[in-house]
Structure 1
């Protein structure tokens, strides 16, 4: 993630992406020219965003047709802040579920829940989605929202 503009430095944006276990909102174009958006778990790793999903999910077909994406990772509670941008997604098998396991650990804390067991089931065929971030914009309304509370 080299091209970062807005309120934060690249280092601060990376820190935010590492610290926040909130979903990424991922937007893309469908094969018929429509728009599609969904939320996925992510992790920031080696300058890219990584997600996982079922191999038969619509998003997989859409990204294989057109890998251009837009994304947003932001807080849902004030003060609002986050990172949004655009990039190129690639889809690859997550045969040993390495990405999914890391995401389960990040978002659920452990693998002892019914949800974790369901996601990590050997019957599930998973893929990894890697987003090469072309550009990112950061915003942080902390100062502005703090002033309103005074």
Structure 2
């Protein structure tokens, strides 16, 4: 994993943040018309990649088939603001979609949403796995300036 020289955190701090973050990732990409787009996706950080899943008919999947270069951001929504962002390449696959989807459901849904979890898993054969391989990552942390 290549860390920007301007990153506030070192590699171990970035890994810790990505492993513990339960906020969705914002993924930015260019659509077929060359217009910038952004969407939020659940993710799991495994083996230096961000793993996600999306339905085969999802807009983001159809656009990524044409251009696999993306930017991403995972950041807190409450102060003190901190997070990571970077540039990456996405690999789309249908392999192990049920396993990736199950991991995402376990991470993001609690037992109150078992109906949603069941519905999502019932469509697992229609899911694509998005393996997002960062080429560079940068972090920021405004904790020092935003302490109460």
> What secondary structure is seen at the aligned counterpart in 1 of 2:65?
helix
- The alpha-carbon deviation at position 17 of structure 1 amounts to 0.3
Q: Where do 4+ consecutive residues of structure 1 move more than 3 Å?
A: 109-112
> Following the alignment from structure 2 to structure 1, what is the Cα–Cα distance between the partners of residues 26 and 86?
11
- Are residues 145 and 126 of structure 1, via their aligned partners in 2, closer, same or farther at CA, if it must alter by over 3 Å? same
Aligned length: 147
Q: Unaligned stretches of 5+ in structure 1?
A: none
Deviation digits for residues 77-130 of structure 1 (CA, Å, limit 9, x no counterpart):
011000001110011004551100000001114596111011111475111001
Q: Unaligned stretches of 5+ in structure 2?
A: none
> Following the alignment from structure 1 to structure 2, what is the Cα–Cα distance between the partners of residues 46 and 106?
17
> Following the alignment from structure 2 to structure 1, what is the Cα–Cα distance between the partners of residues 141 and 71?
19
> Following the alignment from structure 2 to structure 1, what is the Cα–Cα distance between the partners of residues 12 and 86?
16
Which range moved further: 120-129 or 16-25? 120-129
RMSD: 1.7
The correspondence of residues 24-43 of structure 1 with structure 2, limited to 5 A, is 24-43=25-44
Structure 1 equivalent of residue 65 of structure 2: 64
- Are residues 65 and 144 of structure 1, via their aligned partners in 2, closer, same or farther at CA, if it must alter by over 3 Å? same
- The alpha-carbon deviation at position 3 of structure 1 amounts to 2.7
Alignment TM-score, normalising by the size of structure 1: 0.91
> Following the alignment from structure 2 to structure 1, what is the Cα–Cα distance between the partners of residues 40 and 125?
19
> What secondary structure is seen at the aligned counterpart in 1 of 2:132?
strand
> Following the alignment from structure 2 to structure 1, what is the Cα–Cα distance between the partners of residues 10 and 124?
42
Alignment TM-score, normalising by the size of structure 2: 0.93
> What secondary structure is seen at the aligned counterpart in 2 of 1:32?
coil
Q: Judge conservation of contact 2:97–2:129 (CA < 8 Å) in 1.
A: no
Q: Judge conservation of contact 1:4–1:10 (CA < 8 Å) in 2.
A: no
